[in-house]
Amino acid sequence: MGRLDKASEGLLLFTNDTAWADRLLDPATHLSKIYHVQVDRRLDDARLQQLRDGVRLDDGTLLRVGTVRIIREGEKNSWLEIGLEEGRNRHIRRLLEAMDIKVLRLIRVAIGPVKLGELPKGHSRVLREDELQALAVAANA
């Protein structure tokens, strides 16, 4: 649940309960998704504010992030933590591309209250009861 493009990685939720999945994916629930994104440059406060304010694409679509903060910086790149409440197709990649910023790596680390944590790449686990309850509360399900 909650697609990732082929160049992205991170947390996915799997279910065979389509009604439950539809409730969680409904934009009206405002279930946040958190991403760690490595970009090809360091960003100043003005660029971070531009991400919050949004960028209008050539097709008229306005893309913006809910939250953004720098979590780590190197000499030539940065890791950002980006929060979205509504994720459109390739939302983060398209927004950053419109700002001439290249995404080097994109990892979804949380969906609502469920966090990826230290789960190794390619592994899975069953959600705990408290996580299921927290998802239900977060989605008003």
The active-site residue out of 5, 26, 44, 53 is: 5
Among 8, 15, 1, which Cα is nearest to 126's? 15
* Geometric angle at alpha carbon 10, from 21 and 22, rounded to 5°: 10
Active site residue 22: no
Distance CA 27, CA 79 (A): 27
What residues are labeled active site? 5
